[in-house]
Structures are given as structure tokens and as C-alpha cells.
């Protein structure tokens, strides 16, 4: 039910359009920040992460949290998310030897509980004033939507735990079983079976959460795209020329420009082919024993689909290791993010596919188009970006991308 509300109601086109001004404001703030640092290098990962998390928090509860208190809560929230992600990614010995779990030898369970309580408090702090004051002032954010939501059929509202679960997820201690496993399965990914890797584990992502799920994936995809563009100056040139032609030197990018930017869309698709942010997607679990692609999959087994390997399979892709956005331009197979063509599934496929697809796509396209249109990007002299991967729930670049941006448009007022 929560998935349905999030995918179909909160992310309807009308709602996403309604929240556009909020996203736009946050990107404008980041533009101003980058402009202010003119002449100095910036860390693209930090830029992407702070822009995306600011967009997410403003869409969720932005309306009420202004001024110092707002800044403080948003900063605390960012810290809590970062901490949860770190704890989540730690391999835990208790997952391999469950009889040790009650000792919590590495203290991971304790840390996770502490971080979760911290997160809960932040949510209470934000929700309380809205429920207590009982005012009809509309803040126009996701939280308003959730507090006012009534199911069409039953007329029921959402409870507070449901609201929190939907906003930030139930970060169950079991969740990090997955990351621990992934850690031990570390690259080279080629060694994994190209289609299916079966794992008999006792757990699964219980509550992949929206804010955490949405920030790492989107900001990592941003960084990978920038890295590939820095490595392929001819593609960067073509992308910026397209932006100049469609948007114009005297204007800033708007979401309505997207459909006129097929080359940038191809660049994003090609980046997500080579660097899918969730390389093994989320695990599946068949309700009956079945045979698929010659493998017998027992009922209850956890199945990981290796999207990373499928996206680089030479039987499915020509020169799979080459970064070549042209393969998606005028593409006769119409490869999109819907997950219907199984050799291209950066947002997954089927009933568990990314719940934030439309929002994620909009945020990624908007931030990329805006930053590429407004700045020239250069790596500091003598340096070359690499495409090494760091293993984790989200597939990050192993080293942060450090770049030197300079304004690209003549009208400097557009940067304020």
C-alpha cells in the first residue's frame, strides 16, 4: 500500500510538477555556491550529494523548516542519513554466525539503533507541530500530502509510523546482511554468473527507504556522468552544444526542455548502463521452486540479478566497455528505464523496480543539464579522472571526482 501511495499518488505528474519550484530553488542555491567558489576546485560527489539531499528534504518537509532551526534540522538529517549509510554498509560478523548476534561484537546493531532513534526524533520534530497546531496552512510538501492522505476505498488516513516508514523507511538491523554479503562478493563482477546469483540468506531489504534510497543513487549517477564526460571531451562538447541550442545562452534550464535534449538523455542512459547505481538490484525470492535459464531456484532462495554484468555482456552490446551515448540516439529498440527490455535495467524491473524512477530521472536530468549549461568543467592540471569502482550498496566511484568549474554564460546575474 505504501509503495502504491508513493509511486502513483505522490509521484503523479501533477505532484512532481507541483514540487518543481522546490527542486529548482535548491539547484539555484547550489549554482550560487559553486559560482562563489570561482577559481577553486570542487568535489563533485559532495556537490551532487548536498544538492540532491537538499532537494529531497525540501520536497518532504521544506515548507515549514526555514531559518536557523530548519538549517539545523536539515543538517542533522544529512548527518543521520550519512551515518545510517555507513553503518548499513559495514560487514557484520553476526550475519554469518547468527549465534553471535546477541553479543553484537562490532557494536553495529547498537550503532544502528542509535542512528535510527536519532532519525525518528528528527521526524517527530518535523511532524509534531503540524499535527498539534491543527492549522489549515498548506506547506505544499510531501509531508502535507501524507498527513492529509485518505485512502480512496477505505477512507483511512496514514498512521505516524506509516508516515515515517514511507518517508525514511524501517531501517531494520537485518538490512545490512545484504551489504555484508555484497562486500564479500566483491569485484571482479565478471566472476559472477551473468544472469543469476543465488544466495540463501536469511534476510532481505525490509524497508528500502525513500530518502536514503533516493539520495545515494541519484548523486552517484550524477558523479559518474560527470566523470565520463570529463574523460570524453567530444561528448561533453556535443552535450553542451545541444544545451546552448535548446536552452540558449541567456536562459537557465527548465524541466520542459528535457524532451528536446535527446543527446543528454542518451548520455545519462549510457552512464547508467556502465555504472548502474544498484548493480545487483534488490534481491528476489521465488514463492515456488522454479527453473530459469537452466538454473533451479529453490523456493525461498534469495536471487540477485547482476545488472552490472548484463549491461556489459558482449553478446548483448556492441563494444560493451566503450562509453558511447550514440548507441541510445535514435535507438530502434527504444531502450528506456521501464525495465521491459531485460538487458537494460538500471532502475530494475517488475514489481520491485525503483519506486522513485520518475523523481530520480527528473532530479538527475535537471541537475546535470543545469550544471553543464552554466559551467565549463576541467580537471586540475596533471590529473585524469578514473572509473575505478568502490563496492557498496550503491556503486560509487572509488575516488571522488575533483574539478574546476568556471562560468559558461555571459549573463552573470543568472548565477545569483
Please tell me whether residue 210 binds ligand HEM under the rule CB under 6 A.
yes
Under 8 Å between Cβ of 199 and 341 = no
Find the angle CA(198)-CA(289)-CA(344) to the nearest 5 degrees.
50
Please tell me whether residue 277 binds ligand HEM under the rule CB under 6 A.
yes
Q: Using CA atoms, how far apart are residues 105 and 221, in angstroms rounded to an integer?
A: 35
Helix (H) or strand (E) holding 376: strand 375-378
Binding segment for ligand HEM among 38-46, 271-279, 365-373, 384-392 (CB under 6 A)? 271-279
Binding segment for ligand HEM among 136-144, 150-158, 309-317, 344-352 (CB under 6 A)? 344-352
Please tell me whether residue 364 binds ligand HEM under the rule CB under 6 A.
yes
Residue from 143, 281, 368, 395 touching ligand HEM (CB under 6 A): that is: 281
Give burial (CB, 10 Å; 0-12/13-18/19+) of 256: exposed
3-state secondary structure of 212: helix
Binding segment for ligand HEM among 152-160, 211-219, 227-235, 325-333 (CB under 6 A)? 211-219
167's grid cell: 518517508
The nearer residue to ligand HEM, 347 or 404, going by C-beta atoms, is 347
Please tell me whether residue 208 binds ligand HEM under the rule CB under 6 A.
yes
Please tell me whether residue 62 binds ligand HEM under the rule CB under 6 A.
no
Please tell me whether residue 167 binds ligand HEM under the rule CB under 6 A.
no
Please tell me whether residue 393 binds ligand HEM under the rule CB under 6 A.
no
What are the two backbone dihedrals, phi and then psi, of residue 346, each rounded to the nearest 5 degrees?
-65, -20
Q: Which residues contact 147 (CB under 8 A, 6 or more apart)?
A: 127, 130, 131, 157, 158, 163
The nearer residue to ligand HEM, 307 or 374, going by C-beta atoms, is 307
Please tell me whether residue 354 binds ligand HEM under the rule CB under 6 A.
yes
Q: Using CA atoms, how far apart are residues 269 and 273, in angstroms rounded to an integer?
A: 6
61's grid cell: 518537509
The nearer residue to ligand HEM, 160 or 352, going by C-beta atoms, is 352
Binding segment for ligand HEM among 33-41, 172-180, 272-280, 292-300 (CB under 6 A)? 272-280
- Residue 100's Cβ-side half-sphere holds a number of Cα atoms within 13 Å equal to 11
Please tell me whether residue 196 binds ligand HEM under the rule CB under 6 A.
no
How many of the chain's residues bind ligand HEM (CB under 6 A)? 25
Binding segment for ligand HEM among 107-115, 328-336, 359-367, 379-387 (CB under 6 A)? 359-367
Q: Using CA atoms, how far apart are residues 25 and 252, in angstroms rounded to an integer?
A: 12
Please tell me whether residue 146 binds ligand HEM under the rule CB under 6 A.
no
Please tell me whether residue 178 binds ligand HEM under the rule CB under 6 A.
no
CB neighbour burial string for 94-119, b if at least 16 within 10 angstroms, e if fewer: bbeeeeeeeebeeebbebbeebbeeb
Under 8 Å between Cβ of 50 and 43 = no
Under 8 Å between Cβ of 220 and 277 = yes
Residue from 349, 373, 374, 403 touching ligand HEM (CB under 6 A): that is: 349
Please tell me whether residue 26 binds ligand HEM under the rule CB under 6 A.
no
Q: In angstroms, what is the minimal distance from the CB of 164 to ligand HEM?
A: 14
Please tell me whether residue 55 binds ligand HEM under the rule CB under 6 A.
no
Residue from 63, 89, 325, 356 touching ligand HEM (CB under 6 A): that is: 356
Measured over the CA atoms of residue 293, residue 294, residue 299 and residue 305, the dihedral's sign is negative
Please tell me whether residue 216 binds ligand HEM under the rule CB under 6 A.
no
CB neighbour burial string for 150-161, b if at least 16 within 10 angstroms, e if fewer: eeeeeeeebeee
Nearest to 264 by CA among 356, 395, 361, 348: 361
Binding segment for ligand HEM among 258-266, 321-329, 349-357, 397-405 (CB under 6 A)? 349-357
The nearer residue to ligand HEM, 101 or 357, going by C-beta atoms, is 357
What are the two backbone dihedrals, phi and then psi, of residue 300, each rounded to the nearest 5 degrees?
85, -5
The nearer residue to ligand HEM, 240 or 367, going by C-beta atoms, is 367
The nearer residue to ligand HEM, 94 or 270, going by C-beta atoms, is 270
Please tell me whether residue 92 binds ligand HEM under the rule CB under 6 A.
no
Pairing of strands 389-390, 396-397: antiparallel
Please tell me whether residue 377 binds ligand HEM under the rule CB under 6 A.
no
Binding segment for ligand HEM among 126-134, 226-234, 354-362, 404-412 (CB under 6 A)? 354-362
Please tell me whether residue 353 binds ligand HEM under the rule CB under 6 A.
yes
Q: Using CA atoms, how far apart are residues 344 and 273, in angstroms rounded to an integer?
A: 7
User: Which residues of this chain interact with ligand HEM, rule CB under 6 A?
Assistant: 3, 208, 210, 213-214, 217-218, 221, 272, 277-278, 281-282, 346-349, 352-356, 359-360, 364
Amino acid at each position: 500500500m505504501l509503495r502504491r501511495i508513493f509511486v502513483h499518488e505522490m509521484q503523479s505528474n501533477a505532484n512532481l510538477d507541483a514540487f518543481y519550484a522546490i527542486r529548482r530553488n535548491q539547484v539555484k542555491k547550489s549554482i550560487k555556491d559553486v559560482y562563489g567558489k570561482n577559481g577553486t576546485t570542487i568535489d563533485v560527489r559532495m556537490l551532487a550529494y548536498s544538492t540532491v539531499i537538499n532537494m529531497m528534504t525540501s520536497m518532504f518537509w521544506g515548507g515549514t523548516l526555514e531559518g536557523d532551526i530548519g538549517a539545523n534540522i536539515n543538517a542533522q538529517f544529512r548527518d543521520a542519513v550519512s551515518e545510517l549509510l555507513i553503518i548499513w554498509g559495514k560487514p557484520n560478523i553476526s550475519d554469518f554466525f547468527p549465534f553471535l548476534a546477541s553479543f553484537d561484537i562490532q557494536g553495529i546493531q547498537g550503532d544502528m539503533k542509535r542512528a535510527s532513534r536519532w532519525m525518528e526524533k528528527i521526524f517527530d520534530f518535523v511532524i509534531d507541530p503540524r499535527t498539534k497546531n491543527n492549522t489549515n496552512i498548506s506547506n505544499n510538501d510531501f509531508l502535507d500530502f501524507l498527513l492529509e492522505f485518505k485512502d480512496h476505498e477505505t477512507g483511512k488516513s496514514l498512521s505516524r509510523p506509516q508516515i515515517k516508514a514511507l518517508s525514511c523507511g524501517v531501517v531494520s538491523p537485518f538490512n545490512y546482511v545484504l551489504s555484508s554479503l555484497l562486500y564479500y562478493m566483491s569485484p571482479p563482477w565478471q566472476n559472477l554468473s551473468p544472469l543469476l546469483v543465488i544466495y540463501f540468506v536469511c534476510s532481505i531489504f525490509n524497508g528500502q527507504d525513500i530518502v536514503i534510497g533516493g539520495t545515494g543513487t541519484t548523486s552517484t549517477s550524477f558523479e559518474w556522468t560527470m566523470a565520463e564526460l570529463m574523460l570524453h571531451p567530444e561528448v561533453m562538447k556535443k552535450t553542451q552544444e545541444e544545451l546552448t541550442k535548446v536552452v540558449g545562452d541567456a536562459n537557465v534550464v527548465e524541466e520542459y526542455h528535457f524532451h528536446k535534449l535527446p543527446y543528454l538523455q542518451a548520455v545519462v542512459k549510457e552512464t547508467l548502463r556502465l555504472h548502474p547505481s544498484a548493480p545487483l538490484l534488490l534481491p528476489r525470492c521465488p514463492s515456488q521452486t522454479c527453473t530459469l535459464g537452466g538454473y533451479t531456484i529453490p523456493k525461498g532462495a534469495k536471487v540477485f540479478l547482476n545488472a552490472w554484468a548484463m549491461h556489459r555482456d558482449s553478446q548483448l552490446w556492441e563494444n560493451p566497455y566503450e562509453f558511447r551515448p550514440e548507441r541510445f540516439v535514435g535507438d530502434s529498440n527504444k531502450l528506456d528505464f521501464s525495465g521491459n527490455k531485460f538487458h537494460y535495467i538500471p532502475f530494475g524491473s517488475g514489481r520491485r523496480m525503483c519506486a522513485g524512477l520518475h523523481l530520480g530521472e527528473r532530479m538527475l536530468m535537471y541537475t546535470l543539464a543545469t550544471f553543464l549549461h552554466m559551467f565549463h568543467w576541467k580537471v586540475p592540471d596533471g590529473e585524469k579522472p578514473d572509473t575505478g569502482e568502490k563496492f557498496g550498496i550503491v556503486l560509487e566511484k572509488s575516488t571522488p571526482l575533483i574539478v574546476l568549474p568556471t562560468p559558461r554564460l555571459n549573463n552573470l546575474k543568472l548565477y545569483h
